[in-house]
Structure 1
Amino acid sequence: MSTDQGSGCTAPMTVIPLSGRCAEVVERAEHACFGISPFNSYFSTARIRQLAAWGLRHFERVDFFVPDTPSAFTLEAVGYTPEKAAWKARRQGQYVRNKIAAALGSLGVADTGARVLGWAELEGIAAFSRLHERGLRWYVEEAVFRAVCREATGWVLAGKLSDGQRPGEEQIERAVRYFLAELPLFLDTPAIVGAETSVFCYHQPPDVLRRLYAGELGWRPAAGQGFAVVTPDGPARAAGAAGN
């Protein structure tokens, strides 16, 4: 674990790599990909600005991953029709893009749109499509991986349902497609963005990712892929909610 004390314009950050190899990728400081979840109040414009300021100071390149279209899978699982879910996911995705643009613009970044990796950008990248398809097959074929994905998805869904409700099998099966759409960014962001190394930054990784980076699930992230838990220090660190 390391604590970056920042500078006059950058909030101090606590950075916890998930493994020794992840720590090496953080030290390389080539590329950072910040996960920005739709429907998560943690990611205010001010929070995104904090993360962006730190990332731009430490890394050669910075991008922001927004799983906009896949958010519809979670919405469908909690009862929205596919049409309504798609509409809400689109609207929220644009809202998040606007917040990222505002945060980056306030830091003097000109190419704000080019920094966002949403579904529209990713589905046209061959490396992403290849990893996504392989992840879908892996979910079907590997029982241990399937179980931990479903466990993580069930936990997220339980937080979105009425008190005492537990998600059913069909709900979990639908919502897990959200995580599987994110999976390529946890496995090989370097191949997706054309970098040698990349660290995915998020504030609260589920157990499935800890096990993935520990080598317990049979498919290891690429050699240049890292993951770090990155949180601002101070009272704001505990703000916000988990989940997508």
Structure 2
Amino acid sequence: MSDSLISTKPSTFEARPFSDRCRQVWERGDHLLIGVSPGNSYFSPQRISELVLWAREFFDSVDIVYADLHVDTQFAAFGYTPEHAQRRAAKEIKTTARRIQRGVADAGWEAVRIRAVSDFLSDARYQQLRIAIEESLTGDPVFRQAAEGMARSFLAGRTPDGEEPTAEQLAAGLRYICAELPFFLDTPGLLKVPTSVSCYHVELPLTPVLFGRSEGLRAVPGQAYAVVRPGAAAPRPAAAAA
């Protein structure tokens, strides 16, 4: 894993590409993918605007993709009636889309594209990746364990402190996460860009599996991952860590 820090002006953001290969993709500067989850207060309009302005210093293009699949399934797994779960999910998704649109408008970079995960359901590459993910869930214990860890992390905000999610809740969390995973595996193939960096503000349990091993399901060579979060400026490293 690379410990190299990339930063710009104070009070903006710092980035840590996961590995040396991820850093090499970053340095190409082709494309950044910002993934946004409904109900996540981290992604305020101001935060999104700042992220877009910051990303413009490094990348030729930026896409923002927000999750809109299986949100209602999660609410249902936590006891909501089907009707209430659908209404609650629709409200969160609509609010998320509005926050993104406002943030991008405030940034003033018209080239930024905003897409929902559901926009890719008919995409052949997305379908191929979903099949590979489902096969790995049943045939790759390392991937399955990491995916469940990621689901538990995501569900932690919805479960009472110290309580493990039920089997139904964990299954709902996995469905939600698996719908997004193609963008950690092959954003270049999905968005028709030369290379891409997917970013989030924390390292995810699946990151070492998708970007750090030499077997099983993993990201394509042109796909990178970086933790991008607010931080004070620091000197740019001369080279990536070994």
Q: Which TM-score applies when normalising by structure 2?
A: 0.86
- For 2:24 and 2:79, locate their aligned partners in 1 and report how far apart those are by CA, in whole Å: 43
- Of 98, 115, 118, 2:116 maps to 118
* 1:103 correspondence with 2:103: yes
- Following the alignment from structure 2 to structure 1, what is the Cα–Cα distance between the partners of residues 128 and 38? 24
> Aligned residue for 1:187?
185
Note if contact 1:72-1:86 (Cα within 8 Å) is conserved in structure 2: yes
SS class of match (1:207)? coil
Checking the alignment, whether the CA contact within 8 Å between 2:32 and 2:196 is kept in structure 1 is: yes
- Once the two structures are TM-superposed, the CA of residue 44 in structure 1 deviates from its matched residue by 0.8
Structure 1 position 127 matched with structure 2 position 125: yes
Q: Identify unmatched segments of 5+ residues in structure 1.
A: 235-244
Matched with 1:140 is: 138
CA contact (8 A) 1:11 1:54 kept: no
Q: 2:165 aligns with which of 158, 167, 179?
A: 167
Task: Label 1:137 to 1:211 Cα distance change in 2 as closer, same or farther (>3 A).
Answer: closer
- The alignment partner of 1:58 has SS state of coil
Question: Could you tell me how far apart the structure 2 residues matched to 1:171 and 1:33 are?
Answer: 28
Partner of 1:33: 33
Residue of structure 1 equivalent to 2:56? 56
Q: Which amino acid in 1 is paired with 2:169?
A: Q
Distance 2:111 2:214 in 1: 39
Distance 1:107 1:158, change over 3 A: closer
Q: Which one is further off, 195-204 or 132-141?
A: 132-141
- Work out whether residues 33 and 64 of structure 2, in 8 Å CA contact, stay in contact via their aligned partners in 1: yes
2:66 is the counterpart of 1:73: no
CA distance 1:166–1:25, change in 2 (3 Å): same
Count of matched residue pairs:
229
Alpha-carbon distance, 1:40 to partner: 0.8
**2:240 — aligned with what?**
none
Whole-Å Cα distance in 1 between the matches of residues 131 and 182 of structure 2? Answer: 9
* CA distances 1:185-210 after superposition (whole Å, capped 9, x unpaired): 00000000001100001101222222
Q: Deviation of residue 36 (structure 1)? A: 1.2
Q: Which residue of 1 aligns with 2:224?
A: 226
Hey, what's the Cα distance between the residues in 1 that align with 2:169 and 2:195? 36
1:19 equivalent to 2:22? Answer no
Q: Structure 1 pair 41/77, CA: closer, same or farther in 2 (3 Å)?
A: same
Closer, same or farther: CA 73–217 of 1 in aligned 2, 3 Å: farther
| TM-aligned CA deviation for residue 5 of structure 1 | 2.0
Counterparts in 2 of 1:107 and 1:34: CA distance versus 1, 3 Å: same
Q: Which residue of 1 aligns with 2:194?
A: 196
Provide the rounded CA distance (Å) in 2 between the counterparts of 1:16 and 1:105: 27
Q: Output the amino acid matched with 1:207.
A: P
Task: Pick the structure with more helix per residue.
Answer: 1
- Relative to structure 2, which stretch is displaced further, 174-183 or 87-96? 87-96
Q: Could you tell which deviates more after superposition, 190-199 or 60-69?
A: 60-69
Matched, 1:4 2:4: no
Gaps (5+ residues) in structure 2? 233-242
User: Quick check: 1:85 aligned with 2:85?
Assistant: yes
Deviation at 1:143, TM superposition (A): 2.2
Per the alignment, residue 156 of structure 1 pairs with 154
Pairwise CA distance, 1:216: 6.3
Bigger CA drift: 83-92 or 188-197? Answer: 83-92
Q: CA deviation at 1:107?
A: 2.2
Residue deviations 1:101-154, cap 9 Å, x none?
A: 111112223466xx1121332213221122112212221222221122112212
Give identity over the alignment, percent. 32
